[in-house]
Structure formats: structure tokens, C-alpha cells
Amino acid sequence: MEVERALIIKKNKTVKDTDESLSVATSNCPRFIKTRGYDDVCVSEEEKDFPIAYSLVVHKYAWMVERLIKAIYSPANIYCIHYDEKSPASFKSAIKSLVSCLPNVFIASKIEYVYYTSFSRVQADLNCLSDLLRSEVKWKYIINLCGQDFPLRTNIELVSELKKLNGTNMLETIRPNKY
């Protein structure tokens, strides 16, 4: 009986994960930063000395994008978000609102209409890379992600692994088909 009542209470108090609800949540940045824990990120000296840049190409689910950023967030890193120009206005607004709360997260200066099996997807990452190269943050590596990716390693684990690469790249790819 008590479990059932608790579930009903939780259901009634749960905020729906909509683009609009993220815009509302980020309308008060200090509260958003505190409730989401962005102000409580522990950063080691090793992480401070080895900032990572991220290029995120996204097109839907603003809350999922926020969760991705939260999972990989470090104040030492820098994050470029490229949203698809075709995305709904509510999504773009939510992303802009999110970015306004986080000083090391920004939107790409040039936005593309992204078609996910075409060069426009690469161009979106190149746009972020160009912006990141002009950044004052002297990052060591760049990691490109899409909005549906999610990390399997913490920031300190990534720093450790990237340091082992000693300036080389790590790419995974498959051979394209004949078309």
C-alpha cells in the first residue's frame, strides 16, 4: 500500500522531459547548476592540466543532450554544440537556454542542415572544430559525439587513456560500401 502511494506521489511530481521543461529549468541558472550538480564536479590536477574538447552534433531530446553533457562535464573542458538547423524551435531554444547556464559550453558559430548519412554531418563537426581551435582553452584532444551517445568512461579515465596515446589519434571506422 505504501509503495503504491509513493509511486503515485512520485508520478505527480515528476517533471516531464520536454524541450520546454529544460528551457524552464535553465531559466534560473544558479538553481539549475546547483540542482544538477554542475557546481559540485570534482576535478583533479591531472584533469585541469589535460582539458578535452567535445563536438556534439545533436538534433532532438534536449534533456538527453543535457544528461550527456552532465555525464562528461568538467569545468576544465570545453564543449561545442552543433544542433541541426532542421530541429524544432523548442529544441533549439532549450539548447540555447542550457548553453546560457554553462560558461564552457557554446553553440557552433555556423549551423548546418544535417543529413546523417551525408557530408553535412562531417561539416557540422568541422564547424565545431573550427570554433574550438579559436578557443582560449588549450585542449589536448577532441572527442566528437552525437546526442544519442553516452560515455562509458569518466573524465579522469578518459584523460588517462588519452595521455597514453601520446598525441596520436584513435579512430574506429568501417569500410564504406561501394555506393
> In the 8-state DSSP scheme, what is residue 40?
G
Q: Are 19 and 92 in contact (CB under 8 A)?
A: no
Edge-first strand order for the sheet with 52-58 is 105-107, 78-83, 52-58, 141-146
More confident: 175 or 24: 24
Q: Are 73 and 39 in contact (CB under 8 A)?
A: no
Q: Where are the domains of the chain?
A: 17-165
CA distance 50 to 137: 10
The H-assigned helical ranges of the chain are 2-13, 19-25, 29-36, 45-48, 62-72, 89-101, 119-133, 155-165
pLDDT of residue 115: 92
User: Which CA distances in Å does 157 have to 60, 134, 136?
Assistant: 28, 26, 24
pLDDT of residue 117: 83
pLDDT of residue 9: 53
Characterize 68-82 residue by residue with b for buried, 16 or more Cβ atoms within 10 angstroms of its Cβ, and e for exposed.
bbeebbbebbbbbbb
pLDDT of residue 14: 60
pLDDT of residue 170: 75
Give the model confidence (pLDDT) of 85-132 as tens digits: 999 999 999 999 999 999 999 999 999 999 988 999 999 999 999 999
> In the 8-state DSSP scheme, what is residue 74?
-
CA distance 77 to 32: 19
More confident: 125 or 8: 125
Give the model confidence (pLDDT) of 29-78 as tens digits: 999 999 999 999 989 999 999 999 999 999 999 999 999 999 999 999 99
Q: Are 114 and 59 in contact (CB under 8 A)?
A: yes
Q: Are 114 and 81 in contact (CB under 8 A)?
A: no
pLDDT of residue 72: 92
